[in-house]
Structure 1
């Protein structure tokens, strides 16, 4: 089912908003204690590793970019969010998929890939 921004689960909106604002703590709060995040082909397991990944992701890096929500599809406990990014990173433009698997009110799996 196609989902607009306002129809996304609160935990997904909180994560995406915190990531865009480069705020790690609110982003971490929406994960289960045993969650796994896969980004750039690497798994980050548990809150400790996810916290370290978020710190790296949200810290001021050499790249600046803008993001735009372009759509989402919800199927059962899975939410696939697409974001369009433009910036000064290699390639300059990318559409990323954030595939969330929900466990009640929290996220227990996130895969980020083009």
Structure 2
């Protein structure tokens, strides 16, 4: 379900498929949409290259139980997108809205920056 109080643009298939795989910690499938030289930054921690990003996707949040819901998406330009996800679960605070800021190159994710949602 997508909330209508935030801008929502249809997201490109590679981003949609990446998010679907990463939400269920299917790192192997998620990596199909990530460039070999990609960089992922999650709350200030940087992961570079296939092995680091694969481990991040496999392990991030695995110690918690939570649900994930897309609550917005915004196209910046042809290669930049922001997708806002709401996580609710057993992690500290119990609720978080996160912006996933994607940079695409040749239909693959070249960069992903995950940070608290900017209201």
TM-score, structure 1 length as denominator?
A: 0.89
**Cα distance in 2 between the residues matched to 1:62 and 1:103:** 32
Shift of 1:99: 0.3
Of 36, 49, 53 in structure 2, the residue corresponding to residue 50 of structure 1 is 53
For residues 11-39 of structure 1, the C-alpha deviation after alignment (integer angstroms, 9 at most, x for no partner) is 10011100112211111110111000001
In structure 1, the residue matched to 2:94 is 92
Shift of 1:74: 0.5
Matched, 1:68 2:92: no
**CA contact under 8 A between 2:25 and 2:59: conserved in structure 1?**
no
Stretches of structure 2 lacking an aligned partner (at least 5 in a row) = 1-6
SS for the counterpart of 1:12 is: helix
**CA contact under 8 A between 2:8 and 2:74: conserved in structure 1?**
yes
In structure 2, the residue matched to 1:29 is 32
Q: Give the aligned length.
A: 109
TM-score, structure 2 length as denominator?
A: 0.86
Matched, 1:105 2:74: no
Runs of 4+ in 1 over 2 A off after TM superposition: none
Aligned Cα root-mean-square deviation (Å): 1.3
